[in-house]
Structure 1
Amino acid sequence: MKKVLSIFVFLYAFVSTSAQNHQNNPGSNHGNKFEQLGTILPTPNSYRTASGAPGHEYWQQRADYEINAYLDEEKLNLKGSETITYYNNSPDELEYLWLQLDENDTSNTKDAGYQSSSTLAKQISSDRLKATELPVKDNGFGINLEKVTDANGNALSYVVNKTMMRIDLPKKLKKGETFKFKIDWNYNIPDRMKQGGRGGYEFFPEDGNHLFTMTQWYPRLCVYSDNQGWQNHQFTGRGEFTLTFGNFKVKMNVPADHIVASTGSGKNFSEVLTAEQFARWQKAQNTKEPIEIVTLDEAKKAEKSKSKNRKTWTFEAENVRDFAWTSSRKFIWDAMPQLIEENNNKVMCMSLYPKEAYNLYRKYSTKAVAHTIKTYSEFTIPYPYPVAQSIEASNGMEYPMICFNYGRTEKDGTYSEGIKNGMIGVIIHEVGHNFFPMIINSDERQWSWMDEGLNTFVEYLTEELWDNKFPSRRGPAHTIVNYMKLPKDQLEPIMTNSENIIHFGPNAYAKPATGLNILRETIMGRELFDKAFKTYSKRWAFRHPEPADLFRTMEDASGEDLDWFWRGWFYSTDAVDIAIDKVTVATPDFDGKPQARDFKYKVDEPEVNDFEDISKIRNKEDKKITFKTDEDQSLRDFYWRYARGLEKVDTQKEYTIKGDAPKNLDTKERESLKNITGYQIDFSNKGGMVMPLILEFTFEDGTKLNDKIPAQIWRSDEKKVSKTYYFDKKLKSIQLDPMLETADIDTTNNLWTADKVTPESTSKFQVFKQNQENRRRGAAAGMVNPMQAAGKKN
């Protein structure tokens, strides 16, 4: 998703979540928050197991593409012809195929038609101020379908529903069969700087050139999966893409002085580059610093020449879920390799950028690309593709092996610290999307957080390893507090459909990233978390995971029951607000004489039911039933008769067992314990979200101790708990969550200091030595039983 835009608030009407926090006993003060998620998560099956791994019958579809594209820069039009081979690996017979026509989102008549509430603006630009036209007139954008045929040229029946297209098959496509078909199409390329969106062109009036970002540019297959069937939800610009893996062969016919970069590997660089440029490309395969393939001077000259000739660039990509490309004569291009040691993959890390970004991109971009794929490979899976590249396009969006970012300098070549750090952050973020969701291919249309949240988390880890002082905006627990403080009517659970989220950036990016960081740093620990997260990544690489697959794998690989965390952090709008309500201070009393405790008791009444229940009555009346004690009367002992009133015992007589007094401490023992002070800390859960209790104790002598109590302390009472400590020196203060690890929204109630002690908050406790003889005997030793009281032995 476009990271640079995610800081803005998108005001969408609130719709109830599609995965709610169902609780069996919501009025109780215990048990709900620690219930298992079994009533919420889908039932495991042969496709998706209870461990979170793909099942032995897991399947997924495949679609291969051969595409020819013609970029008309003068008319700002893209013309394409594609051949698609679709493989039905499902156990189902398919009557039709669904394809995405994402470019229809740029049309005002073919788009999904989703609207949001609107009000009169205080200020508005003249470009946007125009009279409302009803009925709406076609703005001329969106896909124009020229021809849809099978492989033999026979016309296929199809229906376009806004941003979705259904192709009706001539006959059912059975398991294991393939279907090949062709689509010819074109569309007018939008000015994305004015109209918004991810793909289109940017025009540079200073030199009269365009920079094209060709994304969501061809009709492409929707996912057909075991858990949902066709994912054909409309594209509105918010929920992104759910796509099928396959192989691509793509040819782009563009003006001859354009430089093209795309998903996949270039297959004819020796034909489309000059001899000098191709020599630099070959040299870049083994360099340790980025080398300019197309230099700044060459890009400046191309800006002025504007060739009328054309060239065709050819690229191929294997096992990718999408394909994007860019084209412009303004591009400088640099490259260097990065070796991923785990799979011995030498990846060409590259950047393309106009002169307006030169002073930033030339120094940082390609090295940031290399750092990203190396770091993500360590935390997830080894990067499998041959290329990773960052394109400066005043944008922020991701596709396999290519992404579009921002980072331009001032005209004099200088830049602000914010632009530099923002550029590095967005490059890491968008390159990181190669892993989530390009390889670990979650359903972005349904669950933005599985794409953006997981990626933002690993982005944070990568930023931390770039520079220890890097100003990460998302990931650390304290950065989510302002969002978590919002009123409940402005919040929704993370488990909310992409289209229905109010605060998209905090909910889909920051909160899940923060939650994973809390799991890693505070709840699970790095070793357990990193192994489990890597296991999830490996299990679901090049597959289609769902939330349950992540939740189950994290528990399966770590041995940690995390259902309480998923329930609270992902399914609810509870916030963390744990308070220290009271601290009671107690000192030892050595002067009191411990008293012996006598144990008084009466002999037991017969062990019989309170009444004759229905089963006993029916058993007694059933003549076919013979009871064992009737059949074998030797089993009728004293207690058989006692239960029937045939033996009489005085059950009101009181008996006494004399207790031995605890022993007083001797002088040496008293001396060793004289400085002991007890502290009972009373906590309350004001925010609703249970969390570990992380405590920092500061003593009067300035020393400190720390303790972390797991969240399970709340399992018996989710609202109030107490914890007692005994120290041999006096406390000066107790700080809850000293490192701000839990996203506590109110830290004013997290500190206790010794000056708060009052007579009402102090007490004494007696200290004595346990009488071991009493401990061995126990209270029941020596008690008179009913048989003894009746003077019977049988």
Structure 2
Amino acid sequence: MKLKQAFAVTATLLTVSTVAYGQAFDDKFRQLSDDKLRTPNVYRTASGAPGHQYWQQKADYNIKVKLDDENQSLSASETITYHNNSPDTLRYVWVQLDQNRFRQDSIGNKTRTTSDLDKVSFKGMESMKTASEFPAGYKITDVSDANGNDYHYVINGTMMRIDLKEPLQSGEQTKFNISWQYNIVEQKVLGGRGGYEYFEEDDNYLYEVSQWFPRMAAYYDVYGWQNKQFVGSGEFTLEFGDYTVAITVPADHIVAATGVLQNPEDVLTRTQRARLAEARTADKPVKIVTEEEAIENEKEGTDDTKTWVFKADNVRDFAWASSRRFIWDAKGYKNGGVDVLAMSFYPKEGNPLWERYSTEAVIHTIKSYSYYSIDYPYPVAISVNGPVGGMEYPMITFNGPRPYVDEDTGKKYYSKRTKYGLISVIIHEIGHIFFPMTVNSDERQWTWMDEGINTFLQFLAEQRWEENYPSDRGHARDIVRYMASQNQMPIMTNSESILQFGNNAYGKPATALNVLRETIMGRELFDFAFREYARRWKFKRPTPDDLFRTMEDASGVDLDWFWRGWFYTTDHVDIAIDDIHLYNVNTQDPEVEKAWKREQDQREPITITAHRNQGMPTTVGQQPELRDFYNEHDEYTVTNADRNEYNKLLADLTDEQKAMLKDDTNFYVVDFSNKGGLVMPILLDIKYADGSKEHMRIPAEIWRRSPDHVSKMIMTDKEIKEIIVDPNWETADTDLSNNYWPQRVIPSRIELYKRGVWGGKNSMMEDYDEELKSIEDED
């Protein structure tokens, strides 16, 4: 700390540095509308709300599908009723054919790069071989109008254009039929967001069927037809509609699906129907199909079929699952505007984990998300255990974690990681029914509006599950390493161009929203504004502009700097303390000031030359007669002239001004630099010599005139002993070493290892908690 004495009481202290001469000024607080946001119009307003002429298309589906359990394929037909609510005339429509992504000639497969092939796992080799031989993709057998007349159509990769016989005018609707077949992929071999799982021990299958029918591509005011190819990362942009789906499966299968079952008398036993009725008001999940009953089903086989009919209104997609191995439990939840039946479907391999946590986690998610956004809008919410690790569709989700089975003993164990992994993935996927299945963002274009917003809400819901929940994403500290890396890309990057998908689309936007809630806006303002965003865009299609504008509109907080820094750049947070200076008022009293000057000078170290010259014989020392007034009195001596000048000054001052000269306030000036480029509030813990402590929060706007360097004055009667920047690690500051005055040594550890051994033992086998090793004993 540098100590300085102001030479006059009228001295001015600058708190903001100026921009260097010749250097362009980077205004990080300029409005986004200057260069980033679209011009408001009658469809989307400057406030972020839908405009008075907002419109969106509607697509209704009537589908019949049959599952071939012998050949793992399906055949189906559909009638689509397409409503043109746009102001435009359409000469053709686009339909998504997502299963074509598995074809060898798809863009995704053709552009897949190859890593080092020196070492490949057996599973990896199986996947490569199967992918090259698997007969994937749709076989379209019919595209016709309502009267059965063929339409001309063109298939372009994962998209199909249907040329209409007559232009579809604004306000009109049209119907057309599509029939198709395709082979279902083995998910654990070929991957994907759906597929089947084979159980060799009983020669049975579990199907999770998604992206399975030709679906209308979205047409909307911002991009027109969203007909980007489905390469693999960018998910889906879909229209809302009403669905009636008849699913024909082996008679001993249990089916879970989007929507409400219309014919329970045809497909369920009297006992199962009674259990379902009981579940609606039960205190804990009720088994509709017990584990013992599911095990009996595994032993059976039949050529008979049953057709399950589901109806779902105002949904943007439809998925289903089917297996004779399913255990099925359910529990109702009703509160305010929410009235839902939560259900779980899982094979015996999922127990005891699934029967304990799945349905309760579904209900917990609905409670939490309904609190932070909008009421859950549908009558059903389902969690299915199968081959898909985690995927969401309206009213139904696919979730993967299962206990570990010891090959020697056959006993089941689950680790802490597996337990919380299951709860987290259910929260995340059920959360997706809110975002984007209800607040219908364009996932093909902006993955973060789907994954990032949902990961943020997942973090809030996890914290409401139990104290100190081990969340993977959300805390500012969790994103620091990525933000400090060289592989960052702006959040506002198209889905297929992202390098680190998890960090960019999930982690960083989730952290940004949590920082916005906790540090920038505060919970009250943020929560109100976010609920307003969800309310405005429920069953509508928002863009990033609409979110950004709504959050400002509903909170009264200017956030353009925040969106610009966190979402449009790769800047990171690194605010450093460069220096600190202490000023006190110059009393002008020579008796005081010259004594002060002597004290300060004596603190300065003497030079090496002066040190070595001490005791050296000198001429004046040997000849005292050479000494005079100036040898007897130094610069610190107070003279009569000094006293006269001081008395003259006092005579010209008022009593108030004289009191100012005696003010003993400490004026500390702290110099900060923004090394990361991302402007953020400066959060300080100030510790004083008397043991007291003060927390100071300086808004980000301190950087508005000088985004690189600023100085802040702190006036106090106390002596400052320590200052810490971002003491609670709220802002994702990437370098803690420059956050302290006086500077601290940051401890770390050196990990030693033997040559040829990296990382020690395999933690995958040692991650299981001893107290959970035998679930049977615990129960």
TM bucket normalised to smaller: 0.7 to 0.9
1:112 positional shift: 4.8
Alignment of 1:573-592 (within 5 A): 573-590=570-587, 592=589
- Gap change, CA 1:450 and 1:755, over 3 Å in 2: closer
1:588 positional shift: 4.1
1:240 aligned partner, one-letter code: E
1:661 positional shift: 4.0
Match of 1:37 among 13, 28, 33: 33
1:730 positional shift: 1.4
Asked if 1:551 corresponds to 2:545, the answer is: no
- 1:557 counterpart SS class: helix
Contact 2:59 2:83 in 1 (8 A): yes
Match of 1:327 among 298, 322, 326: 322
Cα distance in 1, alignment partners of residues 87 and 52 from structure 2: 14
1:413 aligned partner, one-letter code: K
- 2:352 counterpart SS class: helix
Match of 1:738 among 688, 712, 727: 727
Task: Give the equivalent residue in structure 2 for 1:360.
Answer: 353
Contact 1:52 1:550 in 2 (8 A): yes
Moved over 6 A (4+): 130-133, 664-671
Cα distance in 2, alignment partners of residues 95 and 571 from structure 1: 37
Alignment of 1:690-701 (within 5 A): 690-701=679-690
1:172 positional shift: 0.1
- Gap change, CA 1:312 and 1:755, over 3 Å in 2: closer
Task: Give the equivalent residue in structure 2 for 1:106.
Answer: 102
- Gap change, CA 1:275 and 1:26, over 3 Å in 2: farther
Contact 2:28 2:564 in 1 (8 A): no
Contact 2:330 2:359 in 1 (8 A): yes
Task: Give the equivalent residue in structure 2 for 1:494.
Answer: 491
Asked if 1:396 corresponds to 2:427, the answer is: no
Contact 1:110 1:142 in 2 (8 A): no
- 2:713 counterpart SS class: strand
1:350 aligned partner, one-letter code: M
1:120 aligned partner, one-letter code: D
Match of 1:306 among 301, 305, 326: 301
1:700 positional shift: 2.0
Task: Give the equivalent residue in structure 2 for 1:211.
Answer: 206
Alignment of 1:277-356 (within 5 A): 277-341=272-336, 343=337, 345-356=338-349
Contact 1:478 1:743 in 2 (8 A): yes
Contact 1:296 1:332 in 2 (8 A): yes
- Gap change, CA 1:580 and 1:661, over 3 Å in 2: farther
2:391 aligned partner, one-letter code: M
Alignment of 1:463-612 (within 5 A): 463-487=462-486, 490-590=487-587, 592=589
- 2:64 counterpart SS class: strand
2:385 aligned partner, one-letter code: E
1:660 positional shift: 8.7
Contact 2:152 2:163 in 1 (8 A): yes
- Gap change, CA 1:415 and 1:705, over 3 Å in 2: same
1:535 positional shift: 0.6
Alignment of 1:149-188 (within 5 A): 149-188=144-183
1:34 positional shift: 3.5
- 1:181 counterpart SS class: strand
- 1:745 counterpart SS class: coil
1:122 positional shift: 3.2
Task: Give the equivalent residue in structure 1 for 2:703.
Answer: 714
Task: Give the equivalent residue in structure 2 for 1:421.
Answer: 420
Match of 1:85 among 81, 102, 115: 81
Match of 1:681 among 656, 670, 678: 670
Contact 2:453 2:510 in 1 (8 A): yes
Cα distance in 2, alignment partners of residues 66 and 661 from structure 1: 95
Task: Give the equivalent residue in structure 2 for 1:449.
Answer: 448
- 1:78 counterpart SS class: strand
Taking structure 2 as the reference length, the TM-score comes to 0.82
Task: Give the equivalent residue in structure 1 for 2:439.
Answer: 440
1:259 positional shift: 0.6
Asked if 1:199 corresponds to 2:229, the answer is: no
1:184 aligned partner, one-letter code: S
Contact 1:114 1:236 in 2 (8 A): no
1:419 aligned partner, one-letter code: T
Cα distance in 2, alignment partners of residues 138 and 419 from structure 1: 34
- 1:542 counterpart SS class: coil
- 1:708 counterpart SS class: strand
Asked if 1:69 corresponds to 2:96, the answer is: no
Asked if 1:252 corresponds to 2:251, the answer is: no
Cα distance in 2, alignment partners of residues 26 and 405 from structure 1: 57
- 1:211 counterpart SS class: strand
1:420 aligned partner, one-letter code: K
Contact 2:28 2:679 in 1 (8 A): no
Cα distance in 1, alignment partners of residues 43 and 297 from structure 2: 54
2:314 aligned partner, one-letter code: N
Cα distance in 1, alignment partners of residues 668 and 180 from structure 2: 75
1:729 positional shift: 1.7
- Gap change, CA 1:728 and 1:65, over 3 Å in 2: same
Task: Give the equivalent residue in structure 2 for 1:96.
Answer: 92
Contact 1:67 1:81 in 2 (8 A): yes
1:185 positional shift: 0.4
Cα distance in 1, alignment partners of residues 242 and 402 from structure 2: 34
Cα distance in 2, alignment partners of residues 61 and 445 from structure 1: 17
- 2:351 counterpart SS class: helix
Per-residue CA distance 1:657-695 (angstroms, 9 max, x = gap): x99944467999888x54x32211100000000000000
Asked if 1:378 corresponds to 2:371, the answer is: yes
Per-residue CA distance 1:238-276 (angstroms, 9 max, x = gap): 000000000000010001111100111111122211111
- 2:55 counterpart SS class: coil
- Gap change, CA 1:433 and 1:200, over 3 Å in 2: same
RMSD: 2.3
1:121 positional shift: 2.3
Greater displacement, 102-111 / 146-155: 102-111
- Any stretches of 5+ residues in structure 2 without a counterpart? 1-20, 406-410, 592-648, 746-779
2:318 aligned partner, one-letter code: F
Greater displacement, 63-72 / 138-147: 138-147
- Gap change, CA 1:171 and 1:593, over 3 Å in 2: farther
- Any stretches of 5+ residues in structure 1 without a counterpart? 1-24, 595-657, 757-794
1:384 aligned partner, one-letter code: P
2:113 aligned partner, one-letter code: S
Alignment of 1:781-792 (within 5 A): none
1:304 positional shift: 0.9
Contact 2:586 2:661 in 1 (8 A): no
Contact 2:102 2:109 in 1 (8 A): no
Task: Give the equivalent residue in structure 2 for 1:405.
Answer: 399
Per-residue CA distance 1:94-144 (angstroms, 9 max, x = gap): 0001000001112213455551432332311346549999xx976311110
Contact 1:340 1:382 in 2 (8 A): no
Contact 1:63 1:246 in 2 (8 A): yes
Contact 2:104 2:110 in 1 (8 A): no
Per-residue CA distance 1:196-246 (angstroms, 9 max, x = gap): 101110111122111100000000000000111100000011000000000
1:468 positional shift: 1.8
1:585 positional shift: 2.0
- Gap change, CA 1:122 and 1:274, over 3 Å in 2: same
- Gap change, CA 1:273 and 1:219, over 3 Å in 2: same
- 2:582 counterpart SS class: strand
1:196 aligned partner, one-letter code: G
